Amino acid sequence: MKNTQLASLITELKKQSIQHNVNIWKRIASDLEGPTARRRAVNLSRINRYAKANEIVVVPGKVLSMGEIDKKLTIAAHAFSGSALEKIKSSGGKAISIQELVKENPKGSKVRIIG
């Protein structure tokens, strides 16, 4: 793995999984470990369809801007397209990195994986 930032994220996720005895971080780490071509890319329309208002959503990959979002959500992902960030913020939601989410919610409670 050449991306040192991604490698440190995966290590941190595994560490948090063991430390807090939580499987969600281990699952996200294993999803991010795979080849780049297999990493998930999720459109906002899919997130909007499956997430409930005020929910925390994790995308182990990239969030793309296709579709609209009409709920206030907190979306954590490895990467965001520029227009996806704009749409999330204009809907009153919050776009954060997976690292930030782990710091805010180390036990991973009430987090949904979409992708």
Q: How many CB atoms lie within 10 A of CB 7?
A: 13
Residue identified by tokens 């560490």 is 15
* Domains of the chain from N-terminus onward: 4-113 (3.100.10.10)
Mean pLDDT of 80-104: 95
Which 8-state DSSP code applies to residue 37?
Answer: G
pTM: 0.91
Residue 100 predicted with pLDDT over 90: yes
H runs (alpha helix) in the chain: 4-20, 23-33, 44-50, 82-90, 98-104
Mean pLDDT of 7-11: 94
How far apart CA 53 and CA 33 sit, in angstroms, is 30
Tens digits of per-residue pLDDT, 52-84?
999 999 999 999 999 999 999 999 999 999 999
What six digits make up the tokens of 89? 């913020």
